[in-house]
Amino acid sequence: MTQDSVSESPVVDRQSMAVDIVCVGFGPATAGFLTALSKKLVNPDGTPIAESAAMPGMPPQVIAYERADDVGFGVSGVVTPARSIKAAFPGLDPAQIPMAAPVKTEKVAYLLDPVGASRRSLALRTADGVLKLFKGKHHAIELPWIPPFLAKHDGLVLSMGQFMQWVGGQVMGSGTVQVWPSMPVAGALVEDNKVVGIRLVDQGVEKNGAATGAFMPGMDIRAALTVIGDGPVGAVGQQLDRELGLPKDHHVHDWAVGMKFVIDLPESCTLEPGTVLHTFGYPEPEIFGFLYVHPGRIASLGIFVPSWFDSPVRTAYRYLQHWMLHPWIWRHIEGGTLRSWGAKTLQESGRRGEPHLVGDGFARIGEGSGSTNVLTGSGVDEAWATGTLLAEAVTELLKQGKPFTRENLESTYVARRRASWVDAEGRVAERARDGFQRGVVTGLIGMGLAGLTGGRLRAPGKPMPPHKRLPTIEAFYRGRISAEEIAKIRAECLAKGTPLHLALMDRAGWPAIPLDGKLLVSHQDALLMGGKVQAPGGYADHVVFPFPAICATCDQRTCVEVCSGQAIAHGPDGVPVFDREKCIHCGACLWNCARERPDGSGRTVLEFRAGSGGLHSAEN
Amino acid sequence: MPSVFHIVVCGSIVPDPLQTLEPITTPTGPALKNELMLPAVLDPWAWHALFEAANLAKNNPGSKVWLVALGPKAKLQQVMMSVAQKAPFELVVIDGPASGFTESAEVASELAAAITSIAGLDKTKLLLFGGWESASRGAGTTLPMVGERLGITDQFQGVDQISVQPDGSFEVLERIEGGKHQVSTCAGAPALLGWATGNLPEPPNNPQVGMANMRTLMPALQKAKPAKVTNTGLAYASVALPKQRRETRIVKDMPADEIAQEIVAWIRAD
């Protein structure tokens, strides 16, 4: 790790500020950390447990910086076991949290293909042929039994946006910690192999980062401990992974993009708050769906598109609409109205993607620390728990007056984590999805085996970086659309500036979406009606293409096709162009880039940096 | 020689303008549907007033800025974490509704009382700032009433610029019809300025400013007094949304004339 890791700008009077603990990102992990820490920083007699080194005479100064414009702009409607959250708030009444409901009903259904356009293997088609005898009028088979490892009973349905607003109020109300939104963190400050704080992003710059007359260099926040909870695509987590590498045999090859709507359910809908529906099998076998019902006739619903779905045109939005129109889902939501929309990247390697959790001056928590359980499909509970564990460790070190060295953090935080249920369950899960590398049926069997045997049995498979397994468009559509026709469609789309995936899906037999202006709306309208994206001026673009010559020769351009906000488009010279005003910061472009850079680093040629703005909805 | 001003900015939160709002009737009067779930921002008019106040204080050493906010303190706390990074100020909080369904007179009384109780405020140096249409559903009635209750007779509305002269007087540009400004000269404080958008860009986020403001933010929120404003006595009758026909296109760098022609053609065709 070197000081060069933080990009240098034309520096004039870069300011610096000292605190004791600085946190990067305010998601569930940091919320768990601050919730626990804020209760421990003061002794029962009102005296602080330790004196601030940064501000002598004061209690420890703890600050969190969040990229989004508010603490409640996170994207995820979740169902969570909420074990760690309930432990943090004993006697928690879900009614205190807007849009929260106890899980009441759970169903899992296999969706058959009612339109005949889904790309299904021979094995699946054969199975479908049998299952169709039992499909009923809704083209779905409801599982008679939900495996215990998938069940979320006793859990909570939450809107992460509303939950984070609620938690933010709790922790800030304590007066012992501060959470500052609208402040992206550019990177970690590294000196002599120690993380000594963070650097905030520059302001008053052009899209390309060039200083303007209003240039204000990003401030350095120096801290004894930097807590990194910036999620799966956070800039600081990426930086540390680059500079430290991952532990032996660890990798982050598996990803997914989750895209969702929050909707007002129609009056006719009879689903009760706390209803949890999960689906698999449609619109493509690799795509999973969910519908969670909140109080007040509101629902979160959406799909997950995994990196092992080998379509180079794996757009989530069009697939989401086809999923919504499936008869098993549509019967509940027809006549509903879109309230909010968003998308988010998920790190799907789970514990096998765990980075170095600590080092001198830093600790990592949350999804970016490999806490997500990829077998149970649970991430919030685990992320929160890692934050709580770190808070316990930090409290212990503060009380003992010990520095935040690698050794001390390993003996406190890492030791707690290794002894935790997060780690134990993560080990069971870490290879549970390997079978999906070979196909959906193998993957489902593998998950079942792993779940029912505590991870002792599983289907084999070797995860690969997405760009190494992504086929060409021609290969993906072989047998369905000829290479000549694809070339013609590609040329037409380029000329018109329209997305290729829409034309290819039309050609592959997917019916047109019957737009109604309320629930089924165009992608652009979803951006306006549901996403409400903001991009404050004075910040640099956070999606950049530093190897334009390679981009110009790329004929897949998956980055364009998958972009959740249609913020990446074909550029005039073949190099994609980025429009920050549409970006919802889902990060899908980062792992969907199809070309590797020539420096042997294994990285692709698209960079996803720290940036400001994004969604302006607190309901996601 | 710079003048010293005590600048009080009246400003509170409103739902994020990007959200769709739906008025409803509740047992306690009119309100917005799911109001507490909506993201909130500082009223954009008040934003500009705050930027102008901060700039004025910066250019006139010894001056000080207070932000007096009437709103639900939980939401105020959340929004202040963004606002407080922009400009130095001391917060004064009155805990109450900020739904837009309150009476201007009641709100004005609460604001005036809160301002009067600010320790160390010198009314001879007072410049009362706020959004010219704030807290009044666009009627522009609240801020003048605050001024009246504080005995401020020099009032300016739709202000876009203030230029302080060496003798402490200042020139004010107020918006009038036709995209023009009325230019007035005021002898000095006390005065009331209801701001339009002003001319200043949004300041960058400054963590040090945020940290400095933090010293007063939490105490102000903790000692917030409940406001004596109610929505009772008001009845929500109806709201009519304009007939919408959404035809969205994203076009960059289109000349204004072409945009205007297209809109005219669209209206004529309707």
Residues in chain B within 8 Å Cβ distance of A216: 204, 206
pLDDT (tens digit per residue) in B99-123: 778 889 999 999 999 999 999 999 9
Residues in chain A within 8 Å Cβ distance of B74: 169
Determine, yes or no, domain membership for B267. Answer: no
Output the DSSP codes for B102-139: S-HHHHHHHHHHHHHT-TT--GGGEEEEEETTTTTTTS
CA distance B124 to chain A (A): 34
Determine, yes or no, domain membership for A484. Answer: no
Q: Report residue A504 as tokens.
A: 């290819």
CA distance A617 to chain B (A): 7
Question: CA of A340: which chain B residue's CA is closest?
Answer: B19
Q: Which of A426, A455, A485 is the last residue of a domain?
A: A426
Which stretch of DSSP H or E encloses residue A608? strand A607-608
Determine, yes or no, domain membership for A38. Answer: yes
pLDDT (tens digit per residue) in A567-579: 999 888 889 999 9
Q: Which of A464, A485, A516 is the last residue of a domain?
A: A464
Determine, yes or no, domain membership for A45. Answer: yes
Determine, yes or no, domain membership for B242. Answer: no
CATH code of the domain containing B124: 3.40.50.620
Determine, yes or no, domain membership for B237. Answer: no
Residue from A97, A171, A177, A178 to probe the interface with B (highest B Cβ count within 10 Å): A178
Q: Inspect the interface and report whether the beta carbons of B36 and A619 lie closer than 8 Å.
A: no
CA separation (Å) from A100 to A94, A229, A293, B20, B170?
A: 6, 24, 9, 21, 53
Q: Inspect the interface and report whether the beta carbons of A616 and B85 lie closer than 8 Å.
A: no
Residues of B near A (Cβ–Cβ under 8 Å) read: 16, 18-20, 34, 36-39, 74, 77-79, 81-82, 85, 201-202, 204-208, 210-211, 214, 218, 222, 246, 248-250
Q: Which residue has the tokens 């202006």?
A: A517
* Distance, CA of A100 to CA of A380 (rounded, Å): 14
Query: Are residues A57 and A190 both part of a single domain?
Result: yes
- pLDDT computed for residue B9 by the predictor: 98
Select from B147, B152, B189, B150 the least CA-distant residue to B172: B189
Query: Are residues A62 and A177 both part of a single domain?
Result: yes
pLDDT-derived band at B243, boundaries 50, 70, 90: low
Determine, yes or no, domain membership for B255. Answer: no
Query: Are residues A111 and A173 both part of a single domain?
Result: no
Poorest-pLDDT segment among A144-153, B49-58, B191-200: A144-153
- pLDDT computed for residue A572 by the predictor: 83
* Distance, CA of A302 to CA of A261 (rounded, Å): 6
Q: Inspect the interface and report whether the beta carbons of B85 and A182 lie closer than 8 Å.
A: yes
Q: Inspect the interface and report whether the beta carbons of B78 and A165 lie closer than 8 Å.
A: yes
Query: Residue B261: how many CB atoms within 10 A of its CB?
Result: 11
Question: CA of B200: which chain A residue's CA is closest?
Answer: A214
The parent domain of residue A455 ranges over: 435-464
* Distance, CA of A29 to CA of A234 (rounded, Å): 13
Q: Which residue has the tokens 């807290």?
A: B135
Determine, yes or no, domain membership for B243. Answer: no
- pLDDT computed for residue A2 by the predictor: 43
Residues in chain A within 8 Å Cβ distance of B207: 17, 65, 180, 183, 200, 219, 221
- pLDDT computed for residue A84 by the predictor: 96
Residue from A24, A532, A577 to probe the interface with B (highest B Cβ count within 10 Å): A532
Query: Are residues A28 and A147 both part of a single domain?
Result: no
Query: Are residues A267 and A141 both part of a single domain?
Result: yes
* CA dihedral of residues A526, A527, A528, A533 (deg, nearest 10): 150
Query: Are residues A98 and A176 both part of a single domain?
Result: no
What is the number of domains present in chain A?
3
Q: Inspect the interface and report whether the beta carbons of A70 and B82 lie closer than 8 Å.
A: yes
- pLDDT computed for residue A12 by the predictor: 64
Determine, yes or no, domain membership for B169. Answer: yes
The answer to whether the CB of A308 falls within 8 A of the CB of A349 is: no
Determine, yes or no, domain membership for B259. Answer: no
- pLDDT computed for residue A136 by the predictor: 75
Cis status of the peptide bond prior to B190, with omega within 30 of 0 = yes
Residues in chain A within 8 Å Cβ distance of B249: 524
Query: Are residues A244 and A258 both part of a single domain?
Result: no
* Distance, CA of A264 to CA of A123 (rounded, Å): 38
Query: Are residues A260 and A152 both part of a single domain?
Result: yes
Determine, yes or no, domain membership for B89. Answer: yes
Question: CA of B222: which chain A residue's CA is closest?
Answer: A173
Per-chain mean pLDDT for chain B: 89
List, for chain A, all residue ranges whose pLDDT scores fall below the cut of 70.
1-12, 74-75, 135
CATH code of the domain containing A53: 3.50.50.60
First to last CA, chain A: 36
What average pLDDT score do residues B216-220 get?
A: 90
Q: Inspect the interface and report whether the beta carbons of A296 and B18 lie closer than 8 Å.
A: no
- pLDDT computed for residue A3 by the predictor: 44
Q: Report residue A80 as tokens.
A: 């969570």
Query: Are residues A225 and A358 both part of a single domain?
Result: yes
Question: CA of A221: which chain B residue's CA is closest?
Answer: B207
The parent domain of residue B171 ranges over: 6-226
Query: Are residues A448 and A365 both part of a single domain?
Result: no
Determine, yes or no, domain membership for A340. Answer: yes
Instruction: Calculate the CA A601 to chain-centre distance.
Output: 24
* Distance, CA of B154 to CA of A423 (rounded, Å): 68
What is the number of domains present in chain B?
1
Q: Which of A443, A464, A485 is the last residue of a domain?
A: A464
Cis status of the peptide bond prior to A283, with omega within 30 of 0 = yes
Residues in chain A within 8 Å Cβ distance of B72: none
The answer to whether the CB of A317 falls within 8 A of the CB of A477 is: no
- pLDDT computed for residue A562 by the predictor: 94
What average pLDDT score do residues B253-259 get?
A: 88
- pLDDT computed for residue A1 by the predictor: 41
Query: Are residues A198 and A100 both part of a single domain?
Result: no
ipTM for the predicted complex comes to: 0.84
Query: Are residues A256 and A272 both part of a single domain?
Result: yes
Question: CA of B209: which chain A residue's CA is closest?
Answer: A17
CA separation (Å) from B23 to A425, B74, B238, B241, B250?
A: 47, 21, 8, 11, 30
